[in-house]
Amino acid sequence: MKHLIAVGACYLDTILKKVTSTAVPFFPSEDSKLRATSLNIRRGGNCPNSLQVLEQLLSEHDTLQLHLVSPLPVASSSATQRVISSFGAQSNIDFSHCVYREESTEAASSYIIRSEASGSRTLVNYNDLLEMTEDEFGNIARGFNPDQETWWHFEGRIPDTIQSCIRLLRNVLPKATISVEIEKPGREGLPELAAEADVVFYSRSWAESRGHKTPEQCLRAEGHQKARLALCTWGEDGAAGLSRSTGETLHCPALDESGRDISVIDAVGAGDTFIAGMLYGLICHPDDWSMGKKLGFAVRLATLKVQREGFNGLGRDILGMETGGG
């Protein structure tokens, strides 16, 4: 049995969309009053999103157990129950390693305003949950056997703590594979975090903040010395990957399967979906899928995601496409 442990924050997202003034949707200016015609509350967070998608991809032949490690309110709170139930009654994701804060009853929250005019997403986050400590993570890591095949994926939050957690893993579970997501521009410590990982996921916004004009430029320039694989998403231009073993950079564009232009319905979680697709390929098809096939699968999965609300049905649809395409 393989184990994927995803470590990151979990949010309850409140999404306002179709913000309108007269008949023209646009982002509100400061000190203005507009009406939102749609409000949706759903669970968010990079790692939870990736796990939700990844679970849809697994078959009975994929011996992979998924685990979430995230600070949450007290287990009996309605907020925590809402988070767990959001994965569905049939979910097999393990939440026993989450760090439950007995003094808190409210989950971390993210308020998102989506503009139909520009497609932009403006986020305001609120989180008073205490972050996971290195000691708490150490107790979780030591709960796994060194002989178990484990993959630890980290959202690049609080780089100093995550870097300590990675170094602890190298000592406690030396066979573990470690991946990190490098996403938020300007967050100090992310380059040092990337240097510790086996697989690195860069976002376009982070790459552009570093002066890179293409995903390939980012992958060639950044210092991920230990990484056997580095990847960089680039929105409508797909994604690129750099394999250390070959030194080859692969690029996969984002294309609609029908050949039509891609109609973006909901881009929230597209990067998380790409990561889910790559982790699925890397963990469940390490040898029988080429790197190009893994990258293409992840890009197609993310392309499907942006053309729908939420994540429901992604696994069924992408696997149907793969089967239909031979």
Strand 249-252 and strand 239-243: pairing?
antiparallel
| 259 belongs to a structural domain | yes
In degrees rounded to 5, what are phi and psi of residue 9?
-80, 155
| 155 belongs to a structural domain | yes
- Whether the per-residue pLDDT at 20 is higher than 70: the answer is no
Tokens, residue 104: 């808190």
| 22 belongs to a structural domain | no
> What is the average pLDDT across 265-282?
96
- Could you tell me where the beta strands, DSSP code E, fall in 51-136? 64-69, 71-73, 99-101, 108-114, 121-126
> What is the average pLDDT across 132-159?
98
Residue 254 near residue 238 (C-beta atoms within 8 A): yes
Residue 230: name the closest of 263, 203, 265 by CA: 203
Average confidence score pLDDT of the chain:
92
* DSSP H/E element including 297: helix 291-306
Which CATH number covers residue 152? 3.40.1190.20
For residues 282 and 62, give the distance between their C-alpha atoms in angstroms, rounded to a whole number: 12
Residue 269: name the closest of 7, 3, 28, 10 by CA: 10
Residue 240 near residue 231 (C-beta atoms within 8 A): yes
| 245 belongs to a structural domain | yes
> What is the average pLDDT across 161-165?
98
> What is the average pLDDT across 103-131?
86
Residue 31 pLDDT: 81
Q: What is the pLDDT of residues 225-247, one digit of tens each?
A: 899 999 999 999 999 999 999 99
* Residue 246 domain boundaries: 2-10+45-98+130-324
- The band of 322, judged by pLDDT with boundaries at 50, 70 and 90, is confident
> What is the average pLDDT across 169-194?
97
In degrees rounded to 5, what are phi and psi of residue 308?
-150, 160
Read off the amino acid at residue 10: C
For residues 127 and 73, give the distance between their C-alpha atoms in angstroms, rounded to a whole number: 11
- The band of 26, judged by pLDDT with boundaries at 50, 70 and 90, is low
Least confident of 44-48, 177-181, 256-260: 256-260
Strand 11-21 and strand 35-44: pairing?
antiparallel
In degrees rounded to 5, what are phi and psi of residue 313?
85, 0
Q: Which residues are 129's β-sheet partners? A: none
| 218 belongs to a structural domain | yes
pTM of the predicted model, to two decimals? 0.92
| 55 belongs to a structural domain | yes
Q: What is the pLDDT of residues 37-84, one digit of tens each?
A: 788 888 999 999 999 999 999 998 999 999 999 999 999 999 999 999
Residue 288 pLDDT: 96
For residues 120 and 115, give the distance between their C-alpha atoms in angstroms, rounded to a whole number: 5
What percentage of the chain reaches a pLDDT higher than 90?
76
* DSSP H/E element including 167: helix 159-172
- Whether the per-residue pLDDT at 299 is higher than 50: the answer is yes
For residues 163 and 108, give the distance between their C-alpha atoms in angstroms, rounded to a whole number: 23
Residue 225 near residue 255 (C-beta atoms within 8 A): no
- The band of 22, judged by pLDDT with boundaries at 50, 70 and 90, is very low
| 113 belongs to a structural domain | no
Residue 119 pLDDT: 66
For residues 130 and 118, give the distance between their C-alpha atoms in angstroms, rounded to a whole number: 35
Residue 121 pLDDT: 75
3-state SS class at 154: strand
Q: Which residue is associated with the tokens 């685990």?
A: 67
| 123 belongs to a structural domain | no
- Whether the per-residue pLDDT at 23 is higher than 50: the answer is no
> What is the average pLDDT across 256-272?
83
- Whether the per-residue pLDDT at 24 is higher than 50: the answer is no
Q: CB-based contacts of 106: which residues, under 8 Å, 6+ apart?
A: 73, 77, 79, 128
- Integer CA distances (angstroms), 65 to 18, 135, 167, 260, 315, in order: 38, 24, 23, 37, 17
- Whether the per-residue pLDDT at 219 is higher than 60: the answer is yes
Q: State how many domains the chain has.
A: 1
